Amino acid sequence: MGRRAGRERGFSVLELMVAVALAAVLVTLAAPSFARMKRAASLSAATNQLLWALNFARSAAILNSVPVTLCLSADGASCLESAAAAGIGWLVFYQSGGVGAAPLLHTFRLPSEVTVHGTRAAVTFWPVARAGTTSTFDLCVGDSRVVPGRAVVVSQTGRARVATEEAACAP
């Protein structure tokens, strides 16, 4: 047995400590990126939900021959009175009797860090194709310098789209 046949292989304590310290530094550097990615994903999901709700309201109005309204909500039960206020979600309902009189067709609550503002507190879709209320909804998350907001525009024809320009979010 000429060469050290009994020598064990593995890591020394010093090598293990260096590897753990390096991993800790990398995790510390990556943590802000994960938080930003989570905020961006929340904003993207909220934007897609708003687009779905607007398209749902438009099609429900046309299919049921009844005006349908989507309004921003601060409590999940009633519509905002002013477009200047921030909403935490929205409600979709038949226009015939308002929120309290008719059952809600759809309600959505935004993730805690996302808010929505609109040029109008509500948009109404009429049962005639190509008839709706125009509005722009700005979805914002925390500090807009970290994750830029998204703007959803509803045209006079009732079509909703995500604007190419950033939303008007306060820093």
pLDDT given at position 129: 63
In a domain? residue 1: no
In a domain? residue 35: yes
In a domain? residue 171: no
In a domain? residue 5: no
Give the rounded percent of residues in the chain with a pLDDT score beyond 90.
16
Q: Inform me whether the pLDDT recorded for 99 exceeds 60.
A: no
**Residue position matching structure tokens 């809600």:** 104
pLDDT tier for residue 81 given thresholds of 50, 70 and 90: confident
Question: What is the domain-level CATH number for residue 119?
Answer: 3.55.40.10
Q: How far apart are CA 103 and CA 105, in angstroms?
A: 6
Neighbours of 40 (CB within 10 A): 15
Largest CA-CA distance found in the chain, in angstroms, rounded: 95
Q: What is the arithmetic mean of pLDDT over 128-153? A: 79
pLDDT given at position 49: 93
Compute and round to an integer the Cα radius of gyration of the chain.
Answer: 25
pLDDT tier for residue 108 given thresholds of 50, 70 and 90: very high
Contact 68, 43 (CB under 8 A): no
Q: Inform me whether the pLDDT recorded for 102 exceeds 80.
A: no
Residue 127 lies in domain? 13-166
3-state helix, strand, coil in the chain (%, to 5): 35, 30, 40
